[in-house]
Amino acid sequence: MTTLTEPPVATAAAEHGSREPGRRKPTASDLVVVLAVLAVVALGLTTDRFVTVANAKAIVTSASLVGIAALGLTLVMIGGSAVSLAISQTVAAVGMIFLSAQSLGLVPALVLAIVGGAAITALQGAVVGYAAANPVVLTIAASFAITGIATGVSGGSSVSASGRGYDHLNATPGGLALSVYVLIALVVVVEWVLRRTRFGRTLYLVGENRPAARAAGMAVGRTTAVAWAIAGALFAVTAAFTAAFNTSANVNLGGTLTFDAIAAVLAGGTPISGGRGSAVRTLAGAVLIAAVSDILLLRGYSTGVQVMVKGLIVLFVVVIVHVRTKGRHA
């Protein structure tokens, strides 16, 4: 699936090698990548009950919620705004909005949640885009503000659903969670937006070189704000599914989602510096992390080991992607 739209890895490495035959050895990193992939595949094949339909469903289901939020973060990262550290808090607040609006019906509640998530996040994106504010500091500030307001409004207690409409989001058509279909549809849409629209191409340029994009007369501020707005809408989709699954929401609903989403984007090979990356890569990253966690779970390793390996995967991919792309973008 990933080979359809990604630049083939081998060609990229060959280009790299021919242009800069200097001190780095692309063949070495090629070998490392091939060995790593083979090792994961071998581990999976030799793991009892890994190659079953039920297990594949479990993997994609566990990847879906993080994956949707990570898609949003992908746009933020491609646009050169590094990361948002307010994802968990946004998801928690939007989840609370979603559940308390259930009395209006599912669709209005969903619309309200998505508009809310997009607005909260677009506001941050506008400050980052127009004023070149530091996204890390700004989103830390936003995370405090969102949690503070959410706690103040809710009185610190959990919000439970005011209707039963949310239950439709827990449906499993064809035996697969609805969130999986939504994830796949959103990957297609986001990938299309990134590759085929003017906005998408501008976003890559803004992320690659902000001063140049500005000098070229591009709408740097607007492009960034729109990217963050879409990201916020995607965080809201994750929030709706998470809240529907938990049937109640409080300020801790987001859990460790911020770092899980960043891990998925980075594990897909999107560099934090911006200008590169794709929706399909992020999907691959989310599935990779879910699959490896699943292998470890089936082999009886504790949650701690699963989390540790997740960190090591991210570290490995970050280093490999950096080493492989450095020459081409120097």
**Shortest spacing between CB 174 and other proteins, in angstroms:** 33
**Shortest spacing between CB 263 and other proteins, in angstroms:** 6
**CB nearer other proteins, residue 56 or residue 298:** 298
**Shortest spacing between CB 302 and other proteins, in angstroms:** 5
Is 63:255 a contact under the CB 8 Å cutoff?
A: no
**CB nearer other proteins, residue 101 or residue 266:** 266
**Shortest spacing between CB 285 and other proteins, in angstroms:** 12
**CB nearer other proteins, residue 127 or residue 288:** 127
Nearest-Å Rg of the Cα atoms of the chain is 20
Name the β-bridge partners of 143.
none
- Site of tokens 């609805």: 178
**CB nearer other proteins, residue 197 or residue 252:** 252
CA dist 328 and 330 (Å) reads 6
DSSP E strands: which ranges in the chain? 159-160, 248-249
Is 280:6 a contact under the CB 8 Å cutoff?
A: yes
Which of the 8 DSSP states describes residue 269? Answer: T
**CB nearer other proteins, residue 104 or residue 272:** 272
Point out which residues bind other proteins (CB under 8 A): 82-83, 85, 88, 127, 130-134, 136-138, 140-145, 147-149, 151-152, 156, 256, 258-259, 262-263, 266, 271-273, 302-312, 314-315, 318-319, 322-323, 326
Burial of 325 (0-12, 13-18, 19+ CB in 10 A): middle
- Site of tokens 């091939």: 34
**Shortest spacing between CB 212 and other proteins, in angstroms:** 15
